[in-house]
Chain A
Amino acid sequence: MSRRVKLALYALLCVLCVPFVFPTWWMVTSSVKPISDIFAFPPALVPSRFDFSTYGRVFELQPFGQQYLNSLYIAAVVTAGTMAVAAMAGYAFARVRFPGQNLLFLVVLVGLLIPSEVTIVPLFQMFHAAGMTDTHWPLILVPILGAPSVLATFIMRQFFITLPGELEEAARVDGLGRFGTFVRVALPLARPALGAVAIFTFLHSWNLYLEPIVFLSTPSKFTLPQALTQFVDAYGSPLWNVQLSAATMTALPVLVVFVLAQRQFIEGLAHTGLKG
């Protein structure tokens, strides 16, 4: 590649980067700007002076630490649960033969087609009847077992389909049963696909917005996206700088973890076997 082409490519990449990077930069810097700077035009790239007091107010106005823990633990449980459910179902649909298999797979796939707005009212009624509103159960059970896990099952199935059949035959010759083959042979090979499922699932749970609003009513049980909309005065006007500080705190740690672990992260996602 000639130098000129290279330079052009770099320039292109840099320009393309702007909409991806600027919002995050603006969020982080604005969170320490005095409020008048937030509304300044043209927007300041760097704060005129630093004001960290809003970070303290985040914790005064909401049980923000608790809410952070809620989001973290819910996302962790959902991720682990989904990985288990999806790996089992994906493997069975891909490699095991049983009567009614295709029909059942189609039935499961229906979940892929359902936006959460469609079923939220009946789900709310079901969980309320079971005494589970204002608990984290709906935010855990529905993603693990319901519609959101179907995508994970689908990904796992697509991965297991690509596994060469000889591996399983070899396992069988070694005396492993079907379940043993799944656990000892197929699952270890599925690590990359599981990584992809983990990332999809974690992000989905981390971003969940409508469900927490509908199901939870006690501030100490709230999740982060829900908490972000709570930094308002008594009349619903947002406290912009406090809101931006809270938003920064929800985004930065995830970004840092990502940068540190980004190789495993992206490569895990990349080697899903989804390339067919």
Chain B
Amino acid sequence: MTDLGDRVAERPATRHRHFWTIPRRDALVGYLLVSPQLVGSALFVLLPLGLVVYYSLQEWNVLAGTFEFVGGDNYAKLLADPNMGQVLTSTALFSVGLVVLNLALALALAILLDQRLRGTTLFRTLFFSPVLVSLVAWTIVWQFLLQQDGGVNGLLGVAGVDGPNWLRGETTALLSVVVVQVVKNVGLNMVLFLAALQGVPRQLYEAAQLDGAGAWTRFLRITVPLISPTILLTSIITVVGSLQVFAQIAVLTQGGPGMSTTVLVYYLYQQAFQFRHLGYGATLSVLLFLIVAALTLLQWRLRRKWVFHES
């Protein structure tokens, strides 16, 4: 880029101007443009994260006002915590269920709406509408609907099905939280998929059809590869989001029945805020951070294998 020999030969008067070569000016603009985000990250992400790591080495009693260095004690506690197995199992089941259901439903809805049907705008609006309802309002409503004698079982009753007591069974409670969350947010992914689908040239399908490819083959060989960058993006957002679901669990099940819906982020909240074990809560935060980071890194690595084209 910069030719050193050239610059040394310059006379001092013009050197100033030449110092600001295009790449240098570009770099300056670059730094200026990213500076708000960088300052924000340093201040509101990295600094608090560092503090959390620091707290995880302390025993912190809020009420007594004591704050004491305990080294790795909290990490030893983490390894010995009898609840951890259940919590991690619930977290895994919840996240996998949520991600799979969300992405599959989003893609299915997008494909349905991508058909040349009249009235798809109406359906698109309806499927998207829960995204706009305030999360707390949405959850409060579902809390009613999922009662033993609530709306869900009322509707199932019309269809002749005797519905279970959703929020009181271990499996059904987990399933309920997943479904409530998916219905709330699937609209976003659906719209992103819809856009991606509309970007797939129709000629490709027509050509494939002439070659005798069935619908399933066309989907696998044309649709999936061409929309793979969107699949990557939505899956990253959804995986990360699935590990952060909190308000829904707080309102619907409070982690029960048993510990069936106590996912890691809820357990963290309980330990840090309800049980006031702030040091241990910080340790769980570090664990949660590492899990999210590992998963995201894994997805980012995998993208080279299966994402069709990345600019």
Q: Please report A residues at the B interface, Cβ cutoff 8 Å.
A: 1, 6, 9-10, 12-13, 16-24, 26-27, 30, 38-39, 41-43, 84-86, 88-89, 91-93, 96-99, 101, 104, 107-108, 110-119, 121-123, 125-126, 141-142, 144-147, 149-151, 153, 158, 161-162, 177-179, 182, 200, 203, 206-207, 209-210, 224-225, 228-229, 243-244, 247-248, 250-251, 254-255, 258-259, 262-263, 266, 269-272, 274-276
Contact = CB atoms under 8 A, between A and B. Distances in A.
Interface string B208-244: 0000000000000000000111100100110010011
A262 B119 CA distance: 14
Contact of B289 (A86, A97, A113, A200): A113
B103 interface: no
B305 interface: no
A214 B157 CA distance: 42
Interface string B272-311: 1000001001100100110011001000000000011111
Given A9-B112, A107-B46, A113 B240 contact: yes
8 contacts: A9-B115, A20-B130, A20-B187, A88-B33, A119-B49, A206-B134, A259-B125, A274-B196
Interface of B: 23, 25-31, 33-34, 36-41, 43-49, 51-52, 55, 109, 112, 115-117, 119, 121, 123-138, 140-142, 144-145, 149-151, 154-155, 157-158, 179, 183, 187-188, 191-192, 194-196, 198-199, 227-230, 233, 236-237, 240, 243-244, 246-247, 265, 268-269, 272, 278, 281-282, 285, 288-289, 292-293, 296, 307-311
B25 A26 contact: no
Nearest to A202: B132
A6 B27 CA distance: 56
B36 A274 contact: no
A210 B247 contact: yes
A195 to B, nearest CB: 11
A146 B269 contact: no
The secondary structure that dominates the B interface is helix
Given A9-B115, A88-B36, A101-B30, A122 B47 contact: yes
Given A92-B29, A117-B269, A203-B132, A23 B112 contact: no
A145 B37 contact: yes
A110 B29 CA distance: 23
Contacts of A276: 196, 227-230, 307-311
A18 B129 CA distance: 12
A16 B190 CA distance: 13
B33 A182 contact: yes
A89 B35 CA distance: 8
In the complex, the 10 A-B pairs of residues with the closest C-beta atoms, listed nearest first:
A145-B40, A146-B44, A276-B229, A270-B195, A247-B137, A42-B154, A96-B30, A119-B48, A98-B30, A98-B27
Contacts, number: 304
A27 B141 contact: yes
A274 B292 contact: no
Contact of A22 (B34, B155, B237, B282): B155
Contacts of A118: 48-49, 52, 268, 285, 288-289
Contact of A147 (B44, B51, B119, B269): B44
A85 B196 contact: no
Contact of B268 (A117, A229, A271): A117
A266 B136 CA distance: 23
B29 A179 contact: yes
Nearest to A246: B137
Contacts of B25: 177-178
A254 B149 CA distance: 30
Contact of A88 (B26, B34, B140, B289): B34
